[in-house]
Amino acid sequence: MPFTPLVPRNAPPALAPYSAGVRAGSTIYVSGILPVGPDGSCVGEGDITAQTRYVLETVQAVLEAGGATLGDVAMNQIFLKDLKDYAAMNAVYKEFFPENPPARYCIRADLVKPEFLVEIASTAHL
């Protein structure tokens, strides 16, 4: 099945050869989104709340580029640099998914750069 790459407005430069998201039929796959601003710098360095908010806003922008909303998300994969940030990340996450939240998992992982505290990938169905 062919797919269409999705590039949201003000997209940061890719750190590797990938698309921010793709739409294949009625499914949208959002790549692991990191707190990278349009100029390539880390957004909210040292602040899990600011990084989580920025990452989820970017996920939302990728979804919108494919004609979807956060309400269409069926699954999120969350990667935290340190599990001590779990509660703070969840507080922001709940703002974006207040009712009927999607399935998800959250694991501790080393991320691409040491200043990144969170990465989130999503799958949405239209």
Active site residues: 106
**34 near 112, Cβ under 8 Å?**
yes
Residue whose C-alpha is closest to residue 104's, from 70, 59, 74, 72: 74
Query: Which distant-in-sequence residues (6+ apart) come within 8 Å of 122 by Cβ?
Result: 28, 29, 30, 59, 63, 73, 75, 76, 77, 102
Tokens 């919108």 label which residue? 64
Residue 65: strand, helix, or coil = helix
d(CA 1, CA 23): 10
